[in-house]
């Protein structure tokens, strides 16, 4: 079977970052979005990104960033990948990719089969797609809400290689999610937390182990 690519997102401490790296995570994510309980400052992000350099791909999650913020983030974290989790248009994704010279992962909110219509336009400009559950109405966060969508929506869909599944995943259900979607890349945040923003090293290890068993 294909090795499953695993991303642990929303890391904010050395201990939990080390737990993700030691468990074998392929990507580690740092959220720079003040509304999120997982938000890290640029200074904090700089330290964590340096700690992870060369050990995993370092992803910075941004929400509708302007050019000034992009420049500051690149300078501080020097990320390997930029994850866009807002309402960025395909044109804006292409602009960010060209401006920063970094691979871009674009998150797409999914609630119904009709949401898949947008995928080709983003496939053309992003290096990787991340399919996440649409947030509930009125939610402050575009992701990290611990919700999953109906994975059967993806049955028969033509998805680009590397498409990543997110939303409501944990060690108990990730095997089922992989089997039902046929995807080989997963992202987790709230599913490895004790409470919003507080990661649990044991849950991180269990999640990565569960994906490797599936692989």
Residues annotated catalytic, as ranges: 9, 132
Do residues 135 and 145 make contact, with C-beta atoms less than 8 angstroms apart? yes
Do residues 82 and 105 make contact, with C-beta atoms less than 8 angstroms apart? yes
Residues 109/129/76/88 CA torsion (nearest 10 deg):
-50
| Extended strands (E) in 38-136 | 57-62, 81-84, 104-110, 128-133
Q: Write out the two tokens for 54.
A: 């060369």
Residue owning tokens 């939990």:
16
C-alpha span between 46 and 182 (Å, rounded):
35
Q: How many CB atoms lie within 10 A of CB 35?
A: 11
Nearest 5°: the CA angle 33, 52, 1 is 95
C-alpha span between 186 and 72 (Å, rounded):
28
Q: How many CB atoms lie within 10 A of CB 67?
A: 11
């Amino acid at each position: 079977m294909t090795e499953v690519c695993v991303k642990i997102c929303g890391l904010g401490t050395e201990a939990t970052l080390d737990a993700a790296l030691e468990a074998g995570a392929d990507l580690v994510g740092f959220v720079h979005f003040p509304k999120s309980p997982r938000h890290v400052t640029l200074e904090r992000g700089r330290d964590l990104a340096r700690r992870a350099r060369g050990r995993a791909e370092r992803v910075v999650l941004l929400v509708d960033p302007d050019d000034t913020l992009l420049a500051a983030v690149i300078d501080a974290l020097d990320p390997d990948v930029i994850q866009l989790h807002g309402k960025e248009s395909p044109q804006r994704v292409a602009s960010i990719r060209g401006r920063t010279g970094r691979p871009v992962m674009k998150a797409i909110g999914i609630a119904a089969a009709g949401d898949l219509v947008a995928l080709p336009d983003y496939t053309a400009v992003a290096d990787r797609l991340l399919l996440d559950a649409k947030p509930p109405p009125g939610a402050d966060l575009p992701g990290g809400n611990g919700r999953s969508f109906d994975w059967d929506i993806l049955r028969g869909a033509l998805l680009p290689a590397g498409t990543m599944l997110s939303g409501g995943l944990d060690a108990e259900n990730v095997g089922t999610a992989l089997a039902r979607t046929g995807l080989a890349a997963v992202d987790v945040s709230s599913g490895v937390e004790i409470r919003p923003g507080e990661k649990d090293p044991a849950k991180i290890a269990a999640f990565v182990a569960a994906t490797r068993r599936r692989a």
